[in-house]
């Protein structure tokens, strides 16, 4: 939504799971057909953008009689808070599943305060 395209390609919004853990937040996104060469992740002004490109498989010598599977690109954006340590974000992709690890900044991590007897 709100993205202007110069090519007539379908753009899908990938489904994601976001899990908050003690030290980090983990985002998992489904991007079927996308690998590390066709994936672009950018961070600009606290906006994390995921873009994946998928090319249609060309079947030589065959003619498609009927098709329901649509091919297109993937795009999704997220606004990150200052609680994320933006310099330590890690991304991996395997079998079309993207995993982003967003470590929490040291200032927001819960820490134990030692208590001394008076």
Residue 69 burial (CB count, 10 A): 7
Across-strand partners of 89? none
pTM of the model: 0.79
**Residue 3: predicted pLDDT:** 59
Question: Measured over all CA atoms, what is the biggest interatomic distance in the chain, rounded to whole angstroms?
Answer: 85
CA distance 113 to 71: 53
- pLDDT surpasses 80 at 49: yes
Note the pLDDT tens digit of each residue in 64-111. 888 887 888 999 999 999 899 999 999 999 999 999 999 998 876 666
Encode 31-62: b = buried (16+ Cβ within 10 Å), e = exposed.
bebbeeebbeeeeeeeebebbbbbeeeeeeee
80, 69 Cβ separation under 8 angstroms? no
DSSP designation for 83: T
């Amino acid at each position: 939504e709100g993205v202007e395209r110069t090519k007539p390609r379908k753009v899908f919004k990938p489904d994601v799971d976001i899990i908050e853990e003690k030290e980090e937040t983990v985002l998992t996104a489904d991007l079927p057909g996308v690998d590390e060469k066709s994936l672009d992740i950018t961070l600009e002004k606290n906006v994390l953008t995921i873009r994946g490109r998928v090319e249609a498989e060309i079947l030589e010598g065959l003619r498609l009689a009927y098709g329901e599977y649509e091919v297109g690109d993937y795009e999704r954006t997220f606004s990150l808070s200052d609680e994320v340590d933006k310099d330590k974000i890690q991304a991996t992709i395997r079998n079309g599943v993207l995993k982003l690890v967003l470590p929490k900044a040291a200032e927001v991590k819960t820490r134990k305060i030692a208590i001394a007897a008076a």
